[in-house]
Amino acid sequence: LASFYEQAGRTDEAHKVLLKALHTTPGSRRLPIALGRICEANQQWSQASVYYAMVVNHLPENHVWRKQRARCLYYSGNFTAAFEEFSTCQKNDPESLSLAEMIAFGDAALQIGNLEKAQSVFDDISVKYQRQLLHVEILRGLCAINRGQSTSAKSIIATARKKWPTDETLLEVAALIPAEQPTAR
């Protein structure tokens, strides 16, 4: 019945049917997944993360659902919890995160002020994708600036400007790099 409702675009009814089923079979692993997917389809990220947490609690080693939960936490704006979940995934299976998940992981680190981890994640992406992603290079430059690493920021932005010489955002980031202070002799 829930599947019929979902296929008919009646996700609220599908959600009610699945929720009722979850209350009658609380140990189910499939029902929280179905509920999480419906919540995601409706962009109810916080609620979806709750359902995926149920799955993660039953299957803590299954990083597919931990990543799904991390994404939902990220989209809901809960950057601290998203960062923790992405960290667990990366620690237990370093190759498991997709490009989009790595960018979300780096951004979550940036959002919570963990500039060192953000820089590390964006640097890893940059190396893996051979510095071909403009937005990642911009984020790398911003991380370096915010960490007080002007020399590194200059290098990152200069390299990116060779590929994208007319990009206005790169020019704006370049303008944020503090001028070097002359050294006293």
Fold of the CATH domain 1-82? 1.25.40
**pLDDT interval class at 22 (50, 70, 90):** low
Q: Is the pLDDT of residue 39 over 90?
A: no
> Who has greater pLDDT, 138 or 93?
138
Q: What is the pLDDT of residue 131?
A: 85
Give domain limits for the chain.
1-82
Least confidently predicted of 8-12, 74-78, 98-102, 117-121: 8-12
pTM of the predicted structure, to 2 decimals: 0.82
CA distances from 146 to 104, 122, 139 (A): 18, 14, 10
Residue-level pLDDT at 86: 97
137 neighbors 156 (Cβ within 8 angstroms): yes
Are the C-beta atoms of 73 and 85 separated by less than 8 Å? yes
pLDDT of 71 above 90: yes
For residue 141, give the nearest of 129, 128, 130, 157 by alpha carbon: 157
Q: Which residue has the higher pLDDT, 131 or 105?
A: 105
Q: Is the pLDDT of residue 58 over 70?
A: yes
Within the chain, where are the H helices? 2-7, 11-24, 30-41, 45-58, 63-76, 79-92, 99-111, 115-128, 134-146, 150-163, 168-176
> Residue 29 pLDDT > 80, yes or no?
no
Mean pLDDT computed over every residue of the chain: 88
Find the mean pLDDT for residues 59-66: 89
Residues 106 and 38: their CA atoms lie apart, in Å, by: 27
Structural contact between residues 83 and 112, judged by C-beta atoms closer than 8 angstroms: yes
Residue 9 has pLDDT above 80, yes or no: no
161-170 long-range contacts (CB < 8 A, ≥24 apart) are 163/131, 163/132, 163/134, 164/134, 167/134, 169/134, 169/138, 170/134, 170/137, 170/138, 170/141
For 145-180, write each residue's pLDDT tens digit.
999 999 999 999 999 999 999 999 999 999 999 887
Give the whole-number percent of the chain exceeding pLDDT 70.
84
Q: What is the pLDDT of residue 179?
A: 81
